[in-house]
A and B are shown apart, each in its own frame.
Chain A
Amino acid sequence: MSTHWTLHKFHGGIHPLENKQQSTTMPIQQAALPGLLVVPLLQHIGQPAEPCVSEGEHVYKGQLIASPAGLGAAIHAPSSGVVERIGAAPYPHASGQPYNAIEIRTDGKDQWHPDIRPANPDELDDEQLLQRIRAAGISGMGGAGFPTATKLRSGQQASIDTLIINGTECEPYITADDMLMRERAADILSGAAILQRLLDARQVVIAIEDNKPQAIAAMQAALGTRPWHVVSIPTLYPSGGERQLIKVLTGKEVPSGGLPAHIGIVCQNVGTAAAVHDAVYLGRPLISRITTLTGAALKQPMNVECLVGTPVIELLQQAGLDQTRMNRVIVGGPMMGFSLADLNAPVIKTGNCLIASTEQEMPAPEPALPCIRCGECELACPAGLLPQQLLFYAQGDDHEQLQANNLFDCIECGACSYVCSSKIPLVQYYRSAKADIREQQQKQIKAEHARQRFEFRQERLRLEEERKAAERQARAERMAKAKAAKEKADAAKPAPVAGSDPSADQLKKLKIEASMARVALTKAEKQLAQHDTPELHAQVAQLKATAEAAQQALAAAEPDATAAAPAAEKPAKAARPALSEAAKKAKIELAMARAALKKAERAEASEDELAPLREAMLKAEQTLADAETGTPE
């Protein structure tokens, strides 16, 4: 159904040369089966997948070779063969760094895994559908590569009004989606129907830029009776950016830092919809994609359907690469793509375009002039930012102002750099500033965690200390109670047990006082050695006197104690041999009872438990006393 659709405008945007006609002269070609497939473990946003095959193992086409860990997507063998190696391999990334990959030596049979079977989505429930999409390892085919099952799951949790199928393809040179729509419109639409069902979306809008009339016609024709809208939108880079497209189609804006699902919208690329069709109807995982091969260094630019993991160099050669003229190879479009460092790197699930350019086509950047604040970048910015101010603050590392000027709303589309008449690589400044700020935030978070950990530890130690102090106090109170009870009992007895020696207690106290005085004295003397002041002299003299007094008091007390102790011992010794058998027995019983009581007290037994023990002890004491008195001298 082709109805009138009200379009809106986003701020800015540019019209770079399209350069799309070169690669659309022939239908999608089949890429040759490469001898070695390099399948990186990270081809999506999120965590790398974990290999579940080992070196030397034979794999079928479509067999799971790495399973997702955390946010991620499953990875499958693109063709049958033997796992040759698992380890670091060339990787298509702006950094040029290698990344872990599973290398498969293909056997040329291209044999599908026997478990791969078609299914009828009408016989599957939503959960099974989603499971099939997840198991197929589908991630967004438009370029960012967000795992599709995760996006659908969060879409299911929100209330989705509109499903947008994004066939905009606003970057120059790229025609992969264009050709896919021309040739596989029906598959895209049946994939979109599954997406609509899963999301329970009220309406489906298929957005295509008006520079692709054939794709628009093909999609219109394939629509059939579906009450959906194929909307032709004005060609303006970056209208294919999710946020910009939502603005164009609905007039709504995705809140800063939010997701389209928050305003009831989910966007899916046409390639993703086709992959969903393959996964659900055919059971085939995402192991191949349409990639545009273009650029002036290629004799025959074209679109190919190639296996994920096919080395870039093999594809470029298939399109007639003239290495002498090539100056760089770009993965993705000329606005947001990155230059490739190693041509042995493979095409991955997000690789929609390879541009082998010549020096004339994409000359080396000119030296940058100072910014003259002409404001062209502001007019071009699709996010409504002030790129000239962001540059100014980025050059000064003013993170606060960068954030106040909404640096993180920058989508890095490159429109500002494109229009800059001073040839300043603005986007690079923003990327770098964002990385700096993120790093600093990470550091701050780390420091905050460390601080919290330290504070928790301090608090834990303090609580432990308090608990111990409370325990000590409780024990001391119980002891005092028990003592009081015992003393009461002792007082009731005719012969009081010789309690703790008062003179010994006093001696201890005096000893402590003397040593404390000595410590204070040495401390003061040390201080005196460092700072020779009259006050300190006086203090030391006084402390010396105190220490001497304490020493003397101790000396006076000691002979008494030493004299008293043997004296107290003697009669007991004398009495010992005279003990009768009964007295001996009573004494043993008493000792046992005392030990039991003490043990119980130490174990912090309750009063109920302690009472009988105490009684038993008193009884034993009584018996002993009886026995002793009853024993003749």
Chain B
Amino acid sequence: MFLSQVTSPHTVRHDHTRNIMRRVILAAIPGLLVSCWFFGLGPLFNVLLCSLFAAGFESLVLKLRQRPIGFYLKDYSVLVTGVLLGLALPPWSPWWLLLVATGFAVVFGKQLFGGLGQNPFNPAMLGYVVVLVSFPVDMTSWPAAHAVTFSGGLSHMFAGTPWLDGWSQATVLDSLKNNQGLTLDELWDGYTGFGWLSSRDSELVNLAFLLGGLWLLHKKVYTWHAPAGMLGALFVMSLIFWGGNGSESNGSPLFHLFSGATMLGAFFIITDPVSSATSTRGRLLFGIGVGILVYIIRSWGGYPDAIAFSVLLMNLCAPTLDYFTRPRTYGHDKAKRGFNTEGQ
């Protein structure tokens, strides 16, 4: 008779890290579909290539580190990195750009720190920033909605053929940044494809990511703290520094919430638990920090969008946030906070 000796608890919830990762990928599908509606199969090709590269790099490093490849690939975490990178990079990006971004994300952003759970920075955002600062031309040439043909996209992606005239367009964030004395109404009247709040593609893609994020919240993949912190801070900042609709305007709060990668960032990027602060209170502050930084860089910095930089900067602050956001333990009058480990 065999009696297994197992430490308590003997019953566990039937959930698994791989399910969490799978849910994140599932929740990104609406955003991907809407994106494909506007940009053809470009976003899908991005996602597929990035996922392929990511799995390849992960396997390579796992092999070098003599770790079981199948076991770690099955946690799907590297696929999340690949999918998010594919969604964040411009549709129909050249294949080598995807390769470099994914390589930096997986090898330098994740595996060199020890793999899953050990990375101080969000791997996808690290890869994104590396190609953003290295290849600014490719990174700022977003295709215009409904413009690129399938063959044109493929040849841009794999043969390096440059975009034809009219195939690419400045994003709304670019336009606002480079606004030369036009009122907002004049500016958006001159922007083809402007919708209700932002460009039609931006606002709908953001809406799709928002819906995916709400589903993840409903599934309790994460708590509301980080997304609410970021969106709230971005809203408040853009309300304070809005400046009306005149030529000095920084854009309305709703414009900021539905432009660029706001919703992707709020529900898919800053919710990466590994590189974020760890307590709920810390995550709220983490989100607020990202929201403020996004607005500062968008309005007064050198880049039109700023999710990646803001996330990386807040990743740096996460360990310190952890020291200062410990919850109050049962039976203690107040929480022990700060670097001091002596009893307080």
> Is A270 part of the contact surface with B, judged by Cβ < 8 Å?
no
Docked-complex contact A172 and B7, CB < 8 angstroms: no
Binds B, one of A223-231, A332-340, A593-601: A332-340
B117 touches A172 (CB 8 A): no
**Does A341 interact with chain B (Cβ within 8 Å)?**
yes
Q: Which residue of A lies closest to B118 (CB)?
A: A370
Note all chain A residues with C-beta closer than 8 A to B283: 375
User: How does the 8 Å CB contact mask read for B295-330 relative to A, with 1 for contact and 0 for none?
Assistant: 000000000000000000000000000100011111
Q: Are B8 and A337 in contact (CB under 8 A)?
A: yes
Q: How far is the CB of B136 from chain A (nearest CB, A)?
A: 33
Q: A373 at interface (Cβ–Cβ under 8 A)?
A: yes
A160 CB within 8 Å of chain B = no
Q: Quick check: B6 and A421 within 8 Å, CB to CB?
A: no
Collect the chain A residues with CB atoms within 8 Å of residue B75's CB: 369
Q: Is the CB–CB distance between A375 and B330 below 8 Å?
A: no
Q: Which of A209-217, A384-392, A506-514 contacts B (4 or more CB under 8 A)?
A: A384-392
B329 touches A17 (CB 8 A): no
Q: Is A343 an interface residue (CB 8 A)?
A: yes
- Determine whether the beta carbon of A247 is less than 8 Å from that of B330: yes
Question: A367-B71, A418-B13, A422-B17 are contacts. A382–B223 as well, Cβ < 8 Å?
Answer: no
The reply to whether the CB of A251 lies closer than 8 angstroms to some CB of chain B is: no
Q: Given contacts A414-B8, A428-B7, is CB(A372)–CB(B331) below 8 Å?
A: no
Q: A328-B6, A341-B5, A421-B16 are in contact. Are A404 and B336 (CB under 8 A)?
A: yes
* Nearest CB in chain A to that of B117: its residue: A370
**Contact indicator B16/A378 (Cβ below 8 Å):** no
Are B10 and A330 in contact, CB atoms less than 8 angstroms apart? yes
CB contact list, A398-413 vs B, under 8 A:
400-401, 403-406, 409, 412
* B323 nearest CB across to chain A (Å): 9
Question: Which single member of B7, B20, B116, B328 contacts A427 (CB below 8 Å)?
Answer: B7
Name A335's contact: one of B9, B329, B336 (CB within 8 Å).
B9
Contact in complex: A328, B4 (CB < 8 Å): yes
Best-surrounded residue of B9, B16, B17, B280 (most CB of chain A within 10 A): B9
What residues of chain B lie closer than 8 Å to A337, measured between beta carbons?
8, 10
Q: Which residues of B contact A418 (CB under 8 A)?
A: 9, 11-13
Q: Does A121 contact B (CB under 8 A)?
A: no
Is A406 in contact with B332, judged by CB distance below 8 angstroms?
A: yes
Q: Does A56 contact B (CB under 8 A)?
A: no
Judge whether B196 is part of the interface by a CB distance below 8 angstroms: no
In the complex, the answer to whether A386 meets B331 with C-beta atoms within 8 Å is no
- A253 interface contact, C-beta 8 A: yes
Q: In terms of DSSP, what is the predominant structure of the interface of chain A?
A: loop
B192 at the interface (CB under 8 A from A): no
Contact of B274 among A365, A373, A417 (CB under 8 A): A373
Give chain B's interface residue range (CB within 8 Å of chain A).
35 or more
Q: Once the chains are docked, how many angstroms separate the CA of A255 from the CA of B330?
A: 8
Contacts of B5 in A (CB 8 A): 96, 328, 339, 341
A339 in contact with B329 given A362-B10, A375-B279, A404-B341 (CB within 8 Å): no
- Who on chain A is nearest to B336 by CB? A404
Complex Cα distance A243/B192, Å? 64
Q: B9 near A423 (CB under 8 angstroms)?
A: no
Given A373-B273, A375-B223, A422-B17, check contact A339 B6 (CB 8 Å). yes
- Binary contact track B101-121/A, C-beta < 8 Å → 1, others 0: 000000000000001111000
CB-based nearest B residue for A11: B330
Return the chain A residue nearest B74 by Cβ.
A369
Q: Which residue of A372, A423, A428 is within 8 Å of B12 (Cβ)? A: A423
Question: How distant is B329 from chain A, measured CB to nearest CB, in Å?
Answer: 4
Query: Which residues of chain B have C-beta atoms less than 8 A from A369's C-beta?
Result: 17, 75, 116-117
In the complex the two chains form, is A374's CB within 8 Å of B273's CB?
A: yes
List residues of chain A with CB within 8 A of the CB of B215: none
User: Residues 303-330 of chain A: 1 if any B CB is under 8 Å from the residue's CB, otherwise 0?
Assistant: 0000000000000000000010011111
Quick check: is B247 within 8 A (CB to CB) of the other chain?
A: no
Judge if A10 is at the interface, Cβ distance under 8 Å. Answer: yes
- Would you call A374 and B222 a contact (CB within 8 A)? yes
Asked whether, in the complex, the Cβ of A335 is within 8 Å of the Cβ of B341, the reply is: no
Q: Which residues of B contact A366 (CB under 8 A)?
A: 16
Q: Distance in Å from the Cβ of B126 to the closest Cβ of chain A?
A: 17
Chain A residue nearest in CB terms to B75: A369
Contacts of A373 in B (CB 8 A): 117, 273-274, 276, 278
Chain B neighbourhood of A365, CB < 8 A: 6, 12
- Digitize A416-438: 1 where CB-to-B-CB distance is under 8 Å, 0 elsewhere: 01111111010110010000000
Residue of A nearest to B340 (CB): A404
Looking at the assembled complex, report how far the CB atom of B248 sits from the nearest CB atom of chain A, in whole angstroms. Answer: 42
Q: Main SS of chain B's interface residues? A: loop
Instruction: Say how far A606's CB is from chain B's closest CB, in angstroms.
Output: 59
Q: Which residues of A contact B326 (CB under 8 A)?
A: 386, 389, 405
Least CB separation from B332: chain A residue: A256
B125 to A: closest C-beta gap in Å: 16
Are the C-beta atoms of B9 and A253 separated by less than 8 Å? Answer: no
Does A613 sit within 8 A of B, measured CB to CB?
no
* B280 → A minimal CB distance (Å): 7
Q: Which of B9, B279, B328, B343 contacts A417 (CB 8 A)?
A: B9
The 8 Å CB contact of B332, one of A341, A370, A409, A421, is: A409
Q: Is B3 an interface residue (CB 8 A)?
A: yes
**Distance A379 CA – B117 CA, assembled complex (angstroms):** 19
Docked-complex contact A384 and B223, CB < 8 angstroms: no
Chain A neighbourhood of B1, CB < 8 A: 323, 326, 343
For chain A, residues 1 to 18, give those with C-beta under 8 angstroms from any C-beta of chain B.
10-11, 14, 16-17
| A364 interface residue (CB < 8 Å to B) | yes
Q: Let me know if B19 is at the binding interface, CB within 8 A.
A: yes
Cβ < 8 Å to B, chain A residues 234-281: 243, 247, 253-258
Bound-state CA distance A422–B223 (Å) is 18
* A-side contacts of B189, CB under 8 Å: none
Inter-subunit contact B10/A384 (CB<8 Å): no
A421 / chain B contacts, CB cutoff of 8 Å = 13, 15-17, 19-20
User: Is A130 an interface residue, CB under 8 A from the partner?
Assistant: no
Which B residues are in CB contact (< 8 Å) with A420? 12
* Interchain nearest-CB distance for A241 vs B (Å): 10
In the assembly, what is the distance between CA of A33 and CA of B282, in Å? Answer: 59
Task: Let me know if A339 and B4 touch, CB within 8 A.
Answer: yes
Contact A409 B278 (CB under 8 A): no
- Residues B12 and A364 in contact, CB atoms below 8 Å apart: no
B327 and A386 contact, CB distance less than 8 A: yes
> Is A371 among interface residues, defined by CB-CB distance under 8 A?
yes
Q: Which residue among A11, A254, A373 has the maximum number of chain B CB atoms within 10 Å of its CB?
A: A373
Q: Tell me whether A386 and B274 are in contact (CB under 8 A).
A: no
- A357 CB-CB contact with B under 8 Å: yes
Question: What residues on B are CB-neighbors of A357 within 8 Å?
Answer: 10
- On whether the beta carbons of A370 and B115 are closer than 8 Å, the reply is yes
| A601 → B minimal CB distance (Å) | 62
Q: How many angstroms between the C-alpha atoms of A621 and B13 in the bound complex?
A: 109
Query: When the two chains form their complex, are residues B7 and A10 in contact, meaning their CB atoms are under 8 A apart?
Result: no
Check A65 for interface membership: any CB of B closer than 8 A. no
Contact partners of A180 in chain B: CB under 8 A: none
B2 touches A414 (CB 8 A): no
**Measured between C-beta atoms, what is the minimum distance from B141 to chain A in Å?**
35
The 9 closest A-B pairs by CB, nearest first: A370-B117, A414-B9, A256-B331, A404-B341, A334-B10, A334-B11, A406-B329, A384-B329, A374-B273
- Knowing that A253-B330, A339-B5, A375-B278 touch, tell me 12 more A-B residue pairs with CB under 8 angstroms: A328-B10, A335-B8, A366-B16, A369-B117, A370-B117, A370-B118, A375-B223, A375-B279, A383-B329, A406-B329, A409-B329, A421-B15
List 24 A-B pairs, Cβ < 8 Å: A11-B327, A243-B331, A326-B1, A327-B3, A332-B8, A335-B11, A339-B3, A339-B10, A362-B11, A369-B116, A373-B278, A375-B222, A375-B280, A378-B278, A383-B331, A384-B330, A385-B327, A401-B341, A404-B343, A406-B336, A409-B332, A422-B16, A423-B12, A427-B8
Q: Which residues of A contact B (CB under 8 A)?
A: 10-11, 14, 16-17, 94, 96, 172, 243, 247, 253-258, 323, 326-330, 332, 334-341, 343, 355, 357, 362, 364-367, 369-375, 378-379, 382-386, 388-389, 400-401, 403-406, 409, 412, 414, 417-423, 425, 427-428, 431
